Amino acid sequence: MSRGAERFPHMKTLTTRVVMAGVFLGAVIALALSVAFSWTGTLANGGAGGGEGKLTEAAEKAFHSPPGTCLAWAAQDAADAHQVPCGQPHLFEVTTMVDIGAQFPAQAPFPGLDQWQDLAQQKCNSDVRPYLGHALDPYGKLTTNLLRPTAAQWADGDRQLRCGLQWAGPGGGLQPTTGAARDQDQSLVWAPGTCLALAGKGVGDPVDCSKPHSYEIIATLDLASNFKDGYPKLDDQKAWLDTECNKAAKDYTGGADLGQKKLMLGWDSREQESWSAGSTKVNCKVAATLADGSGFQAVTGSVKDQAASTPPTSGGN
């Protein structure tokens, strides 16, 4: 979530922009663009399931990909990791190769998670702008991560790392992107009709709208279509989006009464840093918020569906 993104009236801002690591054979390290991070899949299980063992030929080739290569896999443990054209959906784009052999000679022990995180911060930030040819939006959908050797590769003397870009959802799951990173719009937006899971009082990854969720995306708007003379102040964004998102809600729902459904209309905003990086698109969304303004409560069913329901305001989380 971008800074200052959730503009639901009377709702306290939730900090849910957490960079989470997808797992490439236990080898993808979360770069702490946000302080908090987490491990999933084989890494969370201590490398169980073959994550730290011998790589398949395709995975070995994928691990040693040169900059500009895009990688895809079907599951969190990435057992079928392989190279794909960047014009196809993918989960990771290699931006640079780093050799840390001078820092970690042959007998050096396999680094711990804190060391890997430090290495990711040290090695993967500086080369992003030259690779993209423009700034990385610090609040955008793309974040930097590190692809490291497995323990077995390390023991064999492999000290090559691959820095790359990926899109991690608010719940930690990697989201597919299409096209080379340098050509992508970095705006952190979801397609209309997307519902994002409820995680505690915050936001998770996309789920089917028939399942309990935090909010539903109803439209994508481009601020640049209205603000043509440079970055608009947040109050100006709010005033314009208040009008335009209400129009979008009527179109999306067929004129449904959101209040009757106990739902509220909200929207994203964009910071100067995002605007400068070319991120000018925002989402309009609907959600049910807790009475104390501390977060979201579960909504079940699409707002387009007259059966869409929420728990009573005093209950749920």
pLDDT tens readout for residues 89-134: 999 999 999 999 999 999 999 998 888 888 888 888 888 999 999 9
249 and 177 co-located in one domain = no
59 and 139 housed in the same domain: yes
Reference 178, options 93, 121, 120; nearest CA is: 93
- Structural domain containing residue 137: 28-183
Does residue 188 form part of some domain? no
Based on the fold, state whether residues 34 and 166 are members of the same structural domain. yes
Question: Do 114 and 93 share a domain, yes or no?
Answer: yes
pLDDT at 138 over 90: yes
Helix (H) and strand (E) counts in the chain: 7, 13
| Position 88, amino acid | Q
Residue 73's SS3 state is: coil
Burial class (CB in 10 A: 0-12, 13-18, 19+), 179: middle
Is residue 42 a contact partner of residue 50, using CB atoms and an 8 Å limit? yes
Task: Give the CA distances from residue 221 to residues 38, 226, 266, in Å, rounded to whole numbers and listed in that order.
Answer: 32, 10, 13
Are both 86 and 62 inside the same structural domain? yes
Is pLDDT at 231 greater than 90 in this prediction? yes
Sign of torsion over alpha carbons 311, 6, 31, 114:
negative
Amino acid type, 76: Q
For 25, the token pair is 């054979």
For residue 55, what pLDDT is reported? Answer: 63
**Closest-CA residue to 267 (of 238, 295, 301):** 238
Based on the fold, state whether residues 117 and 143 are members of the same structural domain: yes
Helices within the chain (DSSP H only):
41-44, 57-63, 113-124, 128-132, 151-155, 234-253, 272-276
Res. 10 pLDDT band, cuts 50 70 90: very low
Query: For the residues 263-270, what does the mean pLDDT come to?
Result: 94
Domain boundary among 153, 183, 213: 183
Considering the domain architecture, whether residues 162 and 122 belong to the same structural domain is answered as yes
Give the closest residue to 218 by CA, choosing from 185, 186, 178, 251.
251
20 located within any domain: no
Domain count, the chain: 2
Do 169 and 292 lie in one domain? The reply is no
Sign of CA dihedral 191, 194, 200, 201: positive
CA atoms within 13 A on the CB side of 230: 1
Confidence of residue 43 (pLDDT cuts 50, 70, 90): very low
Q: Among residues 165, 90, 87, 167, which one has the least CA distance to residue 129?
A: 165
Q: How far is residue 179 CA from its own chain's centroid?
A: 16
Specify if 316 maps to a domain.
no
Tell me the pTM: 0.81
**What letter would DSSP give residue 166?**
E
* The residue type at 200: G
Grade residue 37 by pLDDT with cuts at 50, 70 and 90: very low
